[in-house]
Amino acid sequence: MSDDRTEQSGSPLPAYDPDAYREELARIGLHQSQAIESRNLVYRALAAAGIGHEQADTIVSQVQAGAVAGAHTCISESTAPHGADARFEDGWHEGVRDVARQLLHIADTTATANRGIAASHTLRIPLVHPEPTPQETPTLPALDPAEVLAAAESCPWALAPQGERHWPDGAFLDTALSAVRPEEHAGYADRLQAFARKHRKRLEDLLHAYGPGSTPASHGRYALVGQPETLVILERMETAPLLLRGTWDDEEEDVFLDDLEFAWGPRIRLSRR
């Protein structure tokens, strides 16, 4: 296998290094944290300049979409390694086009993603402010695990019957919720239900094909399918896949998430399958 890969590309491809991959996820997480802090600072600056909430949301969304568009340009201009044969080049360019299409979709979505953020209480603090005391430090609303679990339980088309579920309800809930960013906490239970309604047919198919009693499940795999907290995991898989993977790798066994990712077929696949 390694010899064939060397022939096609003209140079050996690096082997998968799990430590390097975890480092990549850590660096992505750092960039995400810094982006949140910087975005909040921009919102406060716009508010201090008298920019209304809707216009501020539009400005920030367009800046973020522009950053994704820049990544699209970099990817689109990439070329196959020098000396690669025609078949390898064809595969390379097909992969580049697929990634570029995904980035375009992300840019289109990002351009309208931040509606309502500027109006949140946290972002209305003045740009110039005395050093806050601990009592004055603004806090984001905390997620209520019971409320999220109840929201998931209200979507029976996604759930296995109570007596057939592999794990006690909520066994993976804390790990899943830790991939929900603080600014997403407000109204998350409602958004989770909206996600389940939007993907109802897909969730029904997932439960039928991989849930308890299915042939794949009979081999001891796909244990997360049919669990209520799995709705949170799937929503995060679509919304924040890198954050979910980084959180999961720190807390749970990879095989559970890898199986679910394979069965769900997300737009961005992070497992090595």
Q: What tens digit of pLDDT does each residue of 37-68 get?
A: 777 777 777 777 777 777 777 887 778 777 87
Q: What tens digit of pLDDT does each residue of 184-193 get?
A: 999 999 999 9
Q: How many CA atoms lie within 13 A of 144 on its CB side?
A: 8
Quick one: DSSP state of residue 70? H
* pTM (predicted TM-score): 0.53
Q: What tens digit of pLDDT does each residue of 87-139 get?
A: 877 786 777 777 778 777 786 776 666 666 666 544 445 545 555 555 554 56
Quote the tokens at residue 187.
């109204």
**Helices and strands (DSSP H and E) totals, the chain:** 12, 0
Residues 6+ apart with CB under 8 A from 58: none
Q: What tens digit of pLDDT does each residue of 206-235 get?
A: 999 999 999 999 888 899 999 999 999 999
